[in-house]
Structure 1
Amino acid sequence: MLINHDFSRRVTVTPEDHGWVPSPQRGVDRVMLDRIGGEQARATSFVRYLPDTAFPLHAHPGGEEILVLAGQFSEGERHYPAGWYLRNPPGSCHQPHSTNGTLLFVKLGQMRRQERVQLRVNTRDAENWLTREGMQVCPLFSDAHERVCLLRLSVGTVLAEPGLPGGAEVLIVEGSLIEGNSIHPQGSWLRIAPQQRLALMAGSDNTVLYLKKGHLAAAPQEPCL
């Protein structure tokens, strides 16, 4: 399966574009934002669990990155309400479930094989936030190849870079962004290809963004056939 698989192209997906489709697991639906492959795929998705839904124990050969957007996500006896950020490294296993239902932003098969550390960050904990260049930042993960954080912006704050060598992804967790004559509402996802310009402005106070930079340098730059 190929969805938005040419990483040399800019992609914008707004809530109006969300096409929910059932996964093979009953009670779990998803919006496929980009994807190369079948069930063992390089993929970025929104994933929605209905209440009392569970997956069997399974592994993620290429790792899994999760941001809990709503509800509560659970792994065994560990529970993560909205705001938690999780990284499960390549080769890790888990048995996810949700008692009350949850909405997740999920990236599969996009970690380097060398990554070994399981990471858990509560972005609702004020101690995990700092002020940097006039913005509130919650660092999530950083290495030589990618940087991941949440940003909280006041209305009118500009996020701009003339060219991103490794590209970027932006998910609007709360609030809105203005880009030229377009307003991107909460739930919009933008993928900026390597070397393209980033020029966005917060359209409302307390706009919260998931921002991931640098990781697209090693992504496929031609359509996969």
Structure 2
Amino acid sequence: MLGSELGTAAWLAGGMPDALPHDGGPGRPLASTVRAKAGGAGPYFALRTALLSLENTHNFAGGAVIGADEWSDLVAAGRDCGLKVHLDGARLWNAAVALDVPIASLTAGADTVQVCLSKGLGAPVGSMLVSDSARIHEARRVRKMLGGGVRQGGVLAAAGLVALDRIGDLAEDHANASTLASGLRERGWEVLEPETNIVLATVPDPASTVAELAELGIAAVTVAGKVRFVTHRDVDAADISEALERLRRT
């Protein structure tokens, strides 16, 4: 978020983000780290921490998942420090499917949650904010100030309803990601085992590797100094086999 949102937190909200270390595992801090970093009031010139923002699954950590117990501990740490808690849950459906738990168990205690109906679910658009009625009322005001809003959006809403009926299909994306990771390792790539649908590969020159993959008709991007592959509903098992075969022939 810090490196991919054009400094929006500072520009729009007047906030100064401070990234926490992933000392609790990929994509997540320890609850004790949250308490230590939030700190007390400090001198008059010190920053006042007001928000804990978490991401599940964590994009740059390769689709890493925060489990329900860890989530509860992190929320409790934020509450102990008087913080509001926001969840960037654009890929939260993937986390729920990977853990086989109700999505509510991964959001309990949050003040605001953002989810997305595109990503793996396949709707054409559809990021949504979930909160109480007062915050949603204020969010609509802010959205209007920023030029947001959709007229005659029923056809998009219909696609979102279809997407919500297909959450279970995400398990196929996770299986395809695991197959891709295994195949890449067999070909000598240094690849982390995916928890969901994102495969990260460590290579000497990510940008050149992405360009070479594009010449083979394989789409990937650079993320956090690695090559990122994402499986989704437009990629089936046959596509994974074809991609691995093309790499084998190089």
TM bin (shorter chain): under 0.3
Which structure shows the bigger proportion of residues in helix conformation? 2
TM-score w.r.t. the length of structure 2 is 0.25
Larger relative contact order (Cα-Cα within 8 Å, sequence gap ≥ 6): 1
Which structure shows the bigger proportion of residues in strand conformation? 1
TM-score w.r.t. the length of structure 1 is 0.27
